[in-house]
Amino acid sequence: MLREVEHLARLGARNEDIADFYQVTLTTLEGWLRNNPEFYKAKKRGGIIADSAVVESMYKNATGYQYTKVEKVFNETEKCTAHKETNIDVKGDTIAQIFWLTNRQPNYWKHMNRIIHEGEVKHSHYHKIQDIPVEELSEQTQKMLFELNMKQLTRGRDSN
């Protein structure tokens, strides 16, 4: 059971998934985790191993890496006669770099806009749209109000 829960955690299983696997309620599983330290450690260990693998993979994606591609070489009779090795360089992925830096160094890399406002702010507060002077409405808003009024006038005329 300990090997199973560790394996499930390595696969990214959540508590709900593990409870489903063992065909117990979530409350029962949480009781097992609370009352059985070895079960808790196995689940925790599996999660840590999985998270570490993802971190390592993301780091490689961010920084770039090399690998050797091995291809079989065939002769005319389609018999494998040799192996050809090619070194492949994979460049770092910009999105992975940004993600890494925004999470690891948020004070330097987080996405934010800094707006410094100087001067006076004039604000008019209206309770109803009818109270707003027409000159202060955008062209689009004026057009929408005109069309709305026309529909109401037309509707009133059609019902008579």
Q: Domains in the chain: how many in total?
A: 2
Q: Tell whether 56 is covered by a domain.
A: yes
CB 101 within 8 A of CB 93: no
Better pLDDT: 30 or 101? 30
Task: Measure CA 136 to chain center.
Answer: 41
CB 82 within 8 A of CB 53: no
pLDDT tens figures, 55-87: 899 899 999 999 999 999 998 888 988 999 999
- Residue 53 shares a structural domain with residue 22: yes
Q: Tell whether 135 is covered by a domain.
A: no
pLDDT tens figures, 131-153: 777 777 777 777 777 788 788 77
| Share above pLDDT 90 across residues of the chain, in percent, rounded to a whole number | 49
| From 120-124, 148-152, 156-160, the region with the lowest mean pLDDT | 156-160
- Residue 6 shares a structural domain with residue 36: yes
d(CA 103, CA 50): 19
Q: Tell whether 34 is covered by a domain.
A: yes
pLDDT tens figures, 9-42: 999 999 999 999 999 999 999 999 999 999 999 9
- Residue 52 shares a structural domain with residue 69: no
d(CA 42, CA 23): 19
Q: Tell whether 14 is covered by a domain.
A: yes
- Select from 74, 73, 71 the least CA-distant residue to 88: 71
Start-end of H helices in 64-138? 94-104, 106-109
Is the pLDDT at 157 greater than 70, yes or no? no
- Copy the structure tokens of residue 19: 């409870």
- Residue 17 shares a structural domain with residue 49: yes
Q: Tell whether 17 is covered by a domain.
A: yes
Q: Tell whether 21 is covered by a domain.
A: yes
- Residue 18 shares a structural domain with residue 55: yes
Q: Tell whether 152 is covered by a domain.
A: no
Q: Tell whether 59 is covered by a domain.
A: yes
Is the pLDDT at 115 greater than 70, yes or no? yes
d(CA 16, CA 96): 30
- Residue 19 shares a structural domain with residue 53: yes
- Residue 50 shares a structural domain with residue 16: yes
> E strands, the chain, where?
65-74, 80-90
Question: What pLDDT does residue 154 have?
Answer: 76
Contacts of 85-91 spanning 24+ positions with Cβ under 8 A: 89/64, 90/64, 90/65, 90/66, 91/64
Q: 40 lies in which domain range?
A: 2-63
0.75 cut: is pTM over it? no
CB 82 within 8 A of CB 73: yes
- Residue 41 shares a structural domain with residue 77: no
| Share above pLDDT 70 across residues of the chain, in percent, rounded to a whole number | 89
